[in-house]
Amino acid sequence: MDGYTILGSFLLLFILFIYLTWFGFSVKVDNEKNNESEIKMNPYDNLPLHRKIIDKKNSKIGLIDLGNHILIIGFILLVIFVAINVD
């Protein structure tokens, strides 16, 4: 097993994880749509832009608390670093 095989395996598993997460969330949203047929106003529409980007429902969370996003960015930077330093 060389480095590219390991890196490709990690990338494949990461993409599979993202797909399964997206699929589960879309099933959840679809079930909620079927249960609620009336139109509701979103109470979070009047928030400032930085609260919409970070987390509009949790006012205590900050930019450092974005654990999953930081892990994804770190993984991408790791892949770039490995790709640059391959002989």
Convert the pLDDT of each residue in 60-79 to its tens digit: 665 555 667 778 888 889 88
Whether the predicted pLDDT of 56 surpasses 60: no
- Of 9-18, 49-58, 68-77, 78-87, which has the strongest mean pLDDT? 9-18
CA-CA distance, 76 to 57, in Å (whole number)? 28
Question: Is residue 18 helix, strand or coil?
Answer: helix
Which amino acid type is present at position 58? N
Which amino acid type is present at position 52? K
Residue 55 has a CB neighbour count (10 Å cut-off) of 13
Whether the predicted pLDDT of 47 surpasses 70: no
Provide the pLDDT confidence category of residue 55 given band limits of 50, 70 and 90: low
pTM of the model: 0.38
